[in-house]
Structure 1
């Protein structure tokens, strides 16, 4: 069984198409902006009648953080769920926030196309986007957080491709400790490394920048 997070505006037909394409949907979280509360009420009633376990969250469709935070919170409260996010509805900001959030929580984002002939198989109308190999754990703390924050600060200053020993000297920690935490952050997609002779250089990824900007 799967859980779907669905931001929406006035149009809702794509929501029904998306849910029909997945045969084992149990729970649906609707992210409804203030402008479409009535639409959200009607949609929740309809989905409940079809047997879905429906939950509602009200969001500001023009505030990126107000889109991201509810998605992360839903994922935290459903750690065992197979999570999907329908990125079709709402403003461009909502779609971008929902897509970015999917990489944090390990959800699969999908987009629902408009039918052109009305005869297309429902599966052909749903496009799943690739997801990272491992979601974030939400607990980047302690020395690991200090490593990420240090590389992030240097990245903003234009200093990229730093060495393990640079980080170790800055944080007054042994290179072996730094190596361990860099590897964990690499696995989560927040940092990446590149071999340079006998040394390794450390770079902040786009996902790392997003994570730091949303959790600072």
Structure 2
């Protein structure tokens, strides 16, 4: 069964329309800002009548990090569920935060279009967005985190394509040990490697930059 995380403002029709496109929805978590608490309460009661298990999480709609943290926390609390995120409602900032957080948790974000002719099917109106092959691991720590942070710092300075020995020298570790952790981070999509001549060079990916920006 799936859990749908749904930011909203005053408009709520996109929520009903989006839920109708999925057959296995069990729970809905509304992301409600202070300005729309009354709307959130009404929506909770409405969805409850349709048989959904509904919870509300109050967010700061003008704090991107608060939106991302809310989605991450909800996902951690529901480790065995398929997570979907309706990115249609709320402010542009909330929609951006909801989309970004989907990359962290491996959720499926979707957008609900407004009907134009009235003849569109629900499937035509609900657009699923592509997501990473696997969610990011939030429990990166120890030497693995040191490796990622070191490469991230160098990336900010314009130093890219480093080799294992450079990382090892910086952290006081053997290149073989660095290689192991680089491989794990590469599997997560945070780093990528390219073979150039006899050397394998390490680069930070966009997903790696995103991870570091939210965990700094």
TM-score range (shorter-chain normalised) is over 0.9
Superposition RMSD on alpha carbons, in Å? Answer: 0.8
TM-score with structure 2 setting the length: 0.98
Q: Secondary structure at the match of 2:4?
A: strand
1:179 and 2:179 aligned: yes
Q: Secondary structure at the match of 1:11?
A: coil
Matched residue, 1:54:
54
Matched residue, 1:127:
127
Give the superposition deviation at 1:137.
2.1
Matched residue, 1:167:
167
Matched residue, 1:35:
35
Q: Secondary structure at the match of 1:30?
A: strand
* Long gaps (5+) in structure 1: none
- The 2-side partners of 1:103 and 1:215 are apart by 14
Where do residues 6-45 of structure 1 align in structure 2 (5 Å cutoff)? 6-45=6-45
Q: Secondary structure at the match of 1:44?
A: helix
1:64 and 2:69 aligned: no
Give the superposition deviation at 1:133.
0.8
Give the superposition deviation at 1:169.
0.8
- The 2-side partners of 1:94 and 1:177 are apart by 40
- The 1-side partners of 2:183 and 2:90 are apart by 37
TM-score with structure 1 setting the length: 0.98
Matched residue, 2:105:
105
Matched residue, 1:84:
84
- The 1-side partners of 2:197 and 2:8 are apart by 51
Give the superposition deviation at 1:215.
1.0
User: CA deviation digits over 1:122-157, x for unaligned, max 9?
Assistant: 011011011111111210101100000000111111
- The 1-side partners of 2:112 and 2:196 are apart by 44
Give yes or no for contact 1:134–1:187 (8 Å, CA) kept in 2. no
- The 1-side partners of 2:39 and 2:101 are apart by 24
- The 1-side partners of 2:148 and 2:76 are apart by 22
- The 2-side partners of 1:165 and 1:71 are apart by 38
- The 2-side partners of 1:154 and 1:68 are apart by 26
Kindly tell me the number of residue pairs found equivalent between the two proteins: 216
